């Protein structure tokens, strides 16, 4: 919904991400100015995305234009 910017100005960006997802948005990966929609129904990947909201993450999957079909998610700090 918000992309790389967040319109819920009174909450932290990570919480804004979570609010958007609860409202039906998909998680997204921001790389520079590019925003990729993350497509997954895998609960483990969704849990990891929720945990890593607004943090650097390593997303593995298949890209198709602006959407990535997620195979795995991990912290980029690992």
Do the strands 57-64 and 34-39 form a parallel or antiparallel pair, or are they unpaired? unpaired
> In this predicted model, which residue has the larger pLDDT, 2 or 33?
33
The tens digit of pLDDT for each residue in 9-66 reads 678 888 888 988 999 999 999 888 899 999 999 999 999 999 999 899 999 999 999 9
C-alpha–C-alpha distance, residues 65 and 13, integer Å: 25
State residue 78's pLDDT score.
60
**Per-residue DSSP letter, 42:** -
C-alpha–C-alpha distance, residues 20 and 24, integer Å: 7
State residue 9's pLDDT score.
65
φ, ψ of residue 38 in degrees (nearest 5): -100, 125
């Amino acid at each position: 919904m918000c992309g790389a910017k967040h319109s819920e100005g009174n909450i932290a960006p990570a919480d804004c991400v979570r609010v958007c997802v609860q409202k039906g948005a998909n998680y997204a990966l921001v790389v520079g100015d590019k925003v990729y929609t993350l497509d997954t129904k895998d609960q483990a990947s969704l849990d990891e995305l929720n945990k890593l909201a607004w943090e650097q993450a390593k997303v593995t999957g298949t890209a198709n234009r602006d959407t990535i079909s997620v195979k795995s998610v991990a912290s980029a700090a690992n």
